[in-house]
Structure 1
């Protein structure tokens, strides 16, 4: 739970420069708390603990879901006054959730009055920014959020390709191959005669416009990677494949299977599946609003995808993702889970960037989009369906994979990388898995798997 210091009201408060609920900040609190028992309880609670934003957001979410416009407007009024989009990290986090709740009222059609307010005064659009390749590299280097996965995956790949004359890396990631230059460099350094590197990057049409955006086309990106590999005396082939996560990347799986048949086992080619914060976009079982009482998790799209991957006999599968659960069918439960996880990127940004930083604005715009998707969208449109490590581990085991640990070299490399970042980032090991932490809280997990 994150607590906030309530600053006495002064002037007007805006959200993204446009307030969905325009009220003077010095106006007394609405005299609506006495209108119902729930309002009385809220008024009493606020008097005792005005600092707890999570409780305010949960009360507001419950009011919106029950179509209680009067209560929802009261709480939104309070939130709009104290959850400032340009305040400290906690206030910015709450402001993002406030925006998402108002958007949900409009999208879902509940709480009709709030939907009308949202339509009449829609907040300004979230910042979008297209990066150059160099700027994106610098952006990724701000925190270990992606570097943790890159470092652990590269270490596992290097160990897995010993004795192979070629490796085929299938890259499931939204990070525009930012991991690959360091992999190329490591291959060139480690092997006297580097193996041929084949790279297939997966472009998912439904999320390809998700941040961060890159100015280059994939054709241009591939050409630059091939030229970089050549400069390191590494032979490289590049291709990108558009695929659909809603069908478990079935067309991609078929293409990989065809390639395996063409080259055959005598090719000494290692197939590497590098899954970096992408698999949680595959629909999971809670997307079915009326699951069978005897529903088997192993029959879900995610589990079927993993079984298809297993049938390809990969040399190794690396799975890195965020350690959170955004799959609850009830929006209020998702709000609690998201609020108690997504404070981490806001808090970590405050440790390295000033409040007027454009980089921080771009970074947090991406988190805002995630929050809006988790809170304001439903059905197939809600793509941010994170699952915790324990559930992914069970899926992998059920799909006939066994975990392989990360070696001492991998652990040492991660620790060295973390030394380059702000104090607060840490590393811990659970069984064969590694976890990135922020101030002791689990952030990301990295796991590596081979066929049983």
Structure 2
């Protein structure tokens, strides 16, 4: 975007004060709602002069939200989103994604919190069973499962047989939080099988990758046998399903007759307010400002992995604020209380044991000060991971009614 496209007025000096990005971005969002084209162009020009994807946290927030707001104004969101995804896919590789995931797990419990909580719940629900079938609908590149295999290997009774069915929708992903294509999953499967042999755990690895979206999943895809104890693990999965199809997706999970369902989602509401642009913008700004500030405090300033996570976030911001097609559906996050309302129609809310909570608390001690854990209350069940007292990730466990 060139500044010559906008009014050549001097930037407001107060824009460089603390949290200037949020102030300017709100001005622009309000102008979009008011259809004030002169104000829109002026604020976009100011943002363009101050923003940078390589600057400090304020400059990065300004840069990525500027991109989304510009696409909103020019009605180019869907095209720009597809262009960004295609560009990311060209540079995507298993090794690069693996480095980003592992580094993120090293510096932040953002993802490992859900892994530890879910693994504890699954192991407890399937204790004593000889044949386990875990259906993994997530975006974790199987990084969750080595610790579970270790736990199975040290079980006091006979080591069970584990079948792991991993769902890959959409034919591939563009970043650390995205999906994995067939060749990537083949390599992951080989690594998992090698590790299972090392642990002495009888193991079978299956991939369901021929679907274009999670809403196409059906019970028959998994080949579940009568003597298998089933667990369904959903990490970041529900937000990938279109809002209008989420209850149908939950009913599909119930048809699998699982002993336990674990659900982990980021705590943000981009769904119920999607028809009110300014409210959706405010929630998106709140969520990603917190996320970018967390990344800034967790990673080195020159971290390549941090840049990759920020670019992934920029695509999500664009999809939420500027896309009107299918692209936006998969980024409509909901909060724990909203997911509980949906899930309680098909399952009974379970609770994490004291041992599971102790496992999570032990995990958090490995990270910098600022992370904490608290139980959900009111309309929610489960556990929240918080960053500086702000709920950021919700983890829950569900049982058949």
Alignment TM-score, normalising by the size of structure 1: 0.77
In structure 2, what is the equivalent of residue 223 of structure 1?
A: 190
1:130 aligns with 2:93: yes
Q: Is the 8 A contact 1:195 1:234 kept in 2?
A: yes
In structure 1, what is the equivalent of residue 201 of structure 2?
A: 234
In structure 2, what is the equivalent of residue 304 of structure 1?
A: 248
Structure 1 residue 320: deviation in Å? 0.3
Structure 1 residue 245: deviation in Å? 6.7
Give CA deviations for 1:35-54 in whole Å, capped at 9, x if unaligned.
xxxxxxxx8x979x885533
Distance (whole Å) between structure 2 residues aligned to residue 226 and residue 91 of structure 1: 44
1:205 aligns with 2:170: yes
RCO higher in structure (CA 8 A, sep ≥6):
2
Q: Is the 8 A contact 1:404 1:449 kept in 2?
A: yes
Q: Is the 8 A contact 1:204 1:242 kept in 2?
A: yes
Sort the Cα spacing of 1:22 and 1:349 in 2 relative to 1 into closer, same or farther, 3 A: farther
RMSD of Structure 2 on Structure 1 (CA): 3.0
What is the 5 A alignment of 1:249-268? 249-251=216-218, 253-256=219-222, 259-260=223-224, 263-264=225-226, 267=227
In structure 1, what is the equivalent of residue 362 of structure 2?
A: 416
Q: Is the 8 A contact 1:174 1:208 kept in 2?
A: no
Distance (whole Å) between structure 1 residues aligned to residue 276 and residue 210 of structure 2: 29
Q: Is the 8 A contact 2:88 2:174 kept in 1?
A: no
Structure 1 residue 146: deviation in Å? 0.8
Structure 1 residue 330: deviation in Å? 3.0
1:397 aligns with 2:344: yes
1:100 aligns with 2:68: yes
Who wins on radius of gyration, i.e. which is larger? 1
1:279 aligns with 2:238: yes
What is the 5 A alignment of 1:59-208? 59-64=27-32, 67-108=35-76, 128-132=91-95, 135=99, 136-205=101-170, 208=173
Q: Is the 8 A contact 2:208 2:221 kept in 1?
A: no
Distance (whole Å) between structure 2 residues aligned to residue 233 and residue 50 of structure 1: 56
Distance (whole Å) between structure 2 residues aligned to residue 368 and residue 156 of structure 1: 33
Sort the Cα spacing of 1:103 and 1:407 in 2 relative to 1 into closer, same or farther, 3 A: same
Distance (whole Å) between structure 2 residues aligned to residue 283 and residue 180 of structure 1: 27
Structure 1 residue 376: deviation in Å? 1.7
Alignment TM-score, normalising by the size of structure 2: 0.86
1:21 aligns with 2:3: yes
Distance (whole Å) between structure 2 residues aligned to residue 282 and residue 28 of structure 1: 44
1:449 aligns with 2:398: yes
Q: Judge which range, 50-59 or 227-236, deviates more.
A: 50-59
Q: Is the 8 A contact 1:129 1:212 kept in 2?
A: no
In structure 2, what is the equivalent of residue 290 of structure 1?
A: none
Sort the Cα spacing of 1:217 and 1:206 in 2 relative to 1 into closer, same or farther, 3 A: closer
Sort the Cα spacing of 1:181 and 1:105 in 2 relative to 1 into closer, same or farther, 3 A: same
Distance (whole Å) between structure 2 residues aligned to residue 156 and residue 324 of structure 1: 24
In structure 1, what is the equivalent of residue 384 of structure 2?
A: 435
Structure 1 residue 406: deviation in Å? 0.6
Query: Secondary structure of 1:148's match?
Result: helix
Structure 1 residue 339: deviation in Å? 0.6
**Residue of structure 1 aligned with 2:321, choices 375, 381, 386:** 375
Unpaired runs of at least 5, structure 2: none
Distance (whole Å) between structure 2 residues aligned to residue 247 and residue 144 of structure 1: 26
In structure 1, what is the equivalent of residue 25 of structure 2?
A: 57
Unpaired runs of at least 5, structure 1: 1-18, 31-42, 110-114, 286-300
In structure 2, what is the equivalent of residue 289 of structure 1?
A: none
Q: Is the 8 A contact 2:168 2:207 kept in 1?
A: yes
Give CA deviations for 1:327-378 in whole Å, capped at 9, x if unaligned.
1223322211011111222111222322222121112111111111111211
In structure 2, what is the equivalent of residue 387 of structure 1?
A: 334
Query: Secondary structure of 2:38's match?
Result: helix
Q: Judge which range, 368-377 or 324-333, deviates more.
A: 324-333
Q: Is the 8 A contact 1:272 1:317 kept in 2?
A: yes
Query: Secondary structure of 1:385's match?
Result: coil
